[in-house]
Every structure is written in structure tokens, then in C-alpha cells.
Amino acid sequence: MDNEKKTMSFKYKVIYTIINNYIHLLFGLTLSSMSPAFVDYRLLLHTEMEWIGLFPMFQSIGVFAGSFITISFKYVNRQIVLSILIILQGFGTIFQPWATQLWHLYACIFIYGIGIGAWNGANNVILIEMWQNKSPSILQFSQFIYGVGTVLGPLLDQNFVLGEQICPGVFEHDCLGESHISKPLLESLTSVANSSILNGTDPCTPECLAYDRRPRLKIPLMIGGLLQMIGPGAMLVMYVLHKYHFVHDNKIEVAVTEEQKARHRQYVPTKTIVVCISLYLAFGIMSE
């Protein structure tokens, strides 16, 4: 037991690394699957695109709030907190198409953002703790796998998101020969039941104009949200079977004298570097 507590075995390092990378993959997948649905959200909620455009802002507020949760890791188990937050994040993904009010959508992405903030403040730290001198390549792979997720997200959406289509295969100009449908006309036609089979001979049928896109939109986001919950579920199982613990490997300890520490403080502007990186990330997320 004492030997087990001293260092984490290679087997468990690999298991935890796989779980972390899987979670990171699903972060990219779910996050990139939301933007293609913005036009659908606008039509579902009968609002303007400028209000849907605030979606990333509420996500960023959630990220900001979630970053402070990392302070709690000193007092509560990090593994449990991250698992709970990522499960909630999965629900925040799943319930977006169920939103009937704009604030419902904002609440979902805010909860999702909290999970991002907490995860970003822990994932790299965990990988560095486990792999230490070998961590650079592991960190690079983690970012690569996130990029793979951002590619898969839109691919998951492509068969379900309608965008500017009024119903599958029919655009506004197919109905009126104009670039838009007047709002009173659209509102009057949405009262028509959409249970009838769409008439292929006339694309501009009342059923088409009243087509409910919500059931289609639920499918990819539910798939992404459920897949996202597998990672924290595995993390909770590992907490029971072999709880994550970190003990620094003394074999790679580097002796640092007081003189070396003073020289480091003099020539390495640590606080300036942190501020610069923070500003870079802030403007990067804003522009993204």
C-alpha cells in the first residue's frame, strides 16, 4: 500500500490519460456542434440573430466563473468536482434544443461554460502531474485530440441542422420567389399542423411552412451530450476503483539553490508572462 501511494503506476497513468483525452475530444465535438445550429435557434425562439449572437458571451461568463472553481480543489476532491461539472455540462448540451425562451438557451451555455472553465484549469495540470518530464508530448496530443473533436462536431450536425431551409430541401425563395418571408405570414402559417406528409409537387405547402425543426435538432446535441457524460462517468468509476493521487517523483527532482531562485525572479517575468497569456486567451476567445 505504501508503494502504491508513492507513485502512480504506468497502467493507471495510461487509463487516466485516455479518460482525460476522451473528455477533451468531446469538449471539441460538443462545442463545435452548437454554432451550426444558431440559425435554427433563431427560428425556434422567434428572435433576431443579434440575440443569438450573445450565446458565446454567456459561455465566456460561465468559463470565467468555472475558472474560480479550481480554487476549491484545495478543499474538495478534484476528481469528484470535475466529474459533476462535466455531467452538468452534458445536460447543458442536451437541453439546448428544448429551450422555449431565450434565457433557457443562455442558461444552458452558461452551465456548459462553467464546465469548460473548471476543466481548462485542471486538465493540463493533471497531465503534467502524471507525466512530468514526458508531459509536453502528452499535452500536444491532448490539444490535437480537441481539434479532432472540433472537426467531428459539424459532421455530426450536417444531417440534422436546417439553417435557412424552411423544411428539408425547401428555402424561402422556393416559396415566395423573394429573399424572405414576412413575419405575419410565417406566424399565421405556423399554426397549421405539421403531421401531414410533405407534398413533393408543391414545396411551399402549409405543412412545410409550419415544419417543426426542434425534433431534428435534438438528435445531434443529445448524442454529443450523452457521449460527453461517458468521460466523467469513467472518472467516477476510477475514483472508486483507484482514486487519482499525485506524488511528485523525486527521481526527477532538480536541486534549486536560493541564488538560482533569485536569478529566476530577476530574469523571468513570471507575472508578466501570466498577464500576457491571459490577455491572449481573452482576445482569442472573443474573436473566436
52-102 pLDDT, tens digit per residue, is 989 988 998 999 899 899 888 889 999 999 999 999 999 999 999 999 999
Q: Is the pLDDT of residue 184 over 60?
A: no
Look at residue 234 in the predicted model and tell me its pLDDT.
95
Q: Which residues have a Cβ under 8 Å from the Cβ of 28 and sit 6 or more positions away?
A: 145, 146, 147, 148, 149, 150, 151, 152, 153
Nearest by Cα to 175 from 200, 203, 206, 149 = 203
Higher-pLDDT residue of 269 and 140 is 140
pLDDT(188) > 50? no
Spatial contact of 93 and 157, defined as CB atoms under 8 Å apart? no
**Contact (Cβ atoms closer than 8 angstroms) between residue 45 and residue 101:** yes
Distance separating alpha carbons of residues 259 and 193, to the nearest angstrom = 79
SS3 at position 197: coil
pLDDT of residue 203: 72
Instruction: Using pLDDT thresholds of 50, 70 and 90, give the confidence band for residue 253.
Output: low
Selection from 115, 109, 116 nearest residue 93 by Cα: 109
Question: What are the cell numbers at 149?
Answer: 473533436
